[in-house]
Amino acid sequence: MKFASVLILSLSAVLSACSTSKVITDYNPSSDFSAYQQYHWSEQSGADKNISPFLIENVKAALQIQLKNRLFTQAQTPENADFIVQYYLAEAAETIDRSPRIGLGFGSFGSNIGVSTSVGVPLGKDTINRNVQIIIDFLNPNDMKLSWRGSLVSELHNSDPKVNAATIEQAVTEILAQFPPSQK
């Protein structure tokens, strides 16, 4: 019974350490998000020069779908818009070791206190994953000041553009799920 408890606690600690990135948002509390109905695209949208143009197109397409699903319509001119949509993609490379390891453990149990040591021997190479940070801004069209921002770092697949498109769509959906912010 004690072994099962230790195993469950260890497993939950490992799983909590493997959590995914979270959406980060910020906003201007004086903005009236309930008035937002029509948007216009910012010409300042873009990405780091190392980001593929296909990823940029995927973000805009996912944004268009999400805005349409939320019943926002595209204004013909910035003057007719209630908010300006601007997005930016930034490279966020991270080295993650996902190679299998062999662990050799030594330990003893006595008086309900456990002591253990372990040596891990890697069986493969570290993997460098391509990560991209997606930043979505909503701007006030009158003064072009930021009214809302959401961002998320997502891991991209190294060789499958369809997987990347789905990853981008999911990331944009997660970001916009935080809009409008709950203003207390």
Helix (H, G, I), strand (E, B) or coil at 68: helix
121 pairs with which residues across the strands?
Answer: 102
- The structure tokens listed for 55 are 């990823």
- What confidence tens digit (pLDDT) does each residue in 82-131 have? 999 999 999 986 656 556 666 655 555 566 665 555 666 666 666 667 88
So what's the pLDDT on residue 130? 80
Q: What is residue 138's predicted lDDT score, i.e. its pLDDT?
A: 98
Instruction: Indicate the angle between helix axes 53-69 and 161-176, nearest 10 degrees.
Output: 40
Q: What pTM was computed for the model? A: 0.73
Measured over the CA atoms of residue 21, residue 178, residue 57 and residue 32, the dihedral's sign is: negative
Question: What's the pLDDT tens digit per position in 9-59?
Answer: 443 443 334 435 799 999 999 999 999 999 999 999 999 998 999 999 999
Domain 21-94+129-176 has CATH 3.40.50.720: no
Greatest mean pLDDT among 11-20, 136-145, 153-162 lies in 136-145
Rounded to whole angstroms, what are the CA distances from 6 to 9, 14, 114, 178?
Answer: 5, 12, 10, 37
